[in-house]
Amino acid sequence: MTLLAFLLLPLPLLPGPPAWAPALRSPVPRPAVFAWPVAPPRVTRRFDPPPRPWLAGHRGADLAAPPGTTVRTAGAGVVVYARILAGRGVVSVAHPGGLRTTYEPVIAAVAPGDVLAAGDPLGTLEPGHPGCPAVACLHWGLREGARYLDPLSLLGLGRVRLLPLDR
């Protein structure tokens, strides 16, 4: 077998992430297709996780858009939450592979259990997201289980962080 043929062999699927995976910030969802939840997108604040899960940080990306902009699901999935939480409309969509995206503040046009294709409307953007330098910003989040991840990584735009192999 040539080296090239060896390198092109498919890797076996592991039952879960390796022990060092929690240190990674960018998931690599292969089969799913994701897109911006608002158009045109303008990132005003990037993902900035805290050094420890219980500390303050920014667990998503803020995207400026005019109030009333249609917010769309970034990928195909099922709505698992669509309600007011702490005075703001929140929508959460579970995607195949264990990923979950969240969108706020949104006036929801969907309900839990709704099955969505990528790009389907979730609702409309409300003004007044705290810390937003524009009139309205969509806070777009991404989780895998209990871990918060950079939602921009779904689009291949997340920050890359190289780790030592012995970790």
Burial of 95 (0-12, 13-18, 19+ CB in 10 A): buried
Task: Name the class of domain 46-155.
Answer: mainly beta
Q: How far apart are CA 53 and CA 148, in angstroms?
A: 9
What is the average per-residue pLDDT within 133-162? 82
Determine the residue type at 100: R
Read off the pLDDT of residues 30-84 as tens digits, 9 standing for 90 and up: 445 899 999 888 888 887 777 777 766 668 889 999 999 999 999 999 999 999 9
Domain definitions of the chain by residue range: 46-155
CA angle at residue 166 from 161 to 167, to 5 degrees?
55
**pLDDT attached to residue 129:** 75
DSSP 33: -
What is the average per-residue pLDDT within 109-132? 91
What is the average per-residue pLDDT within 83-112? 95
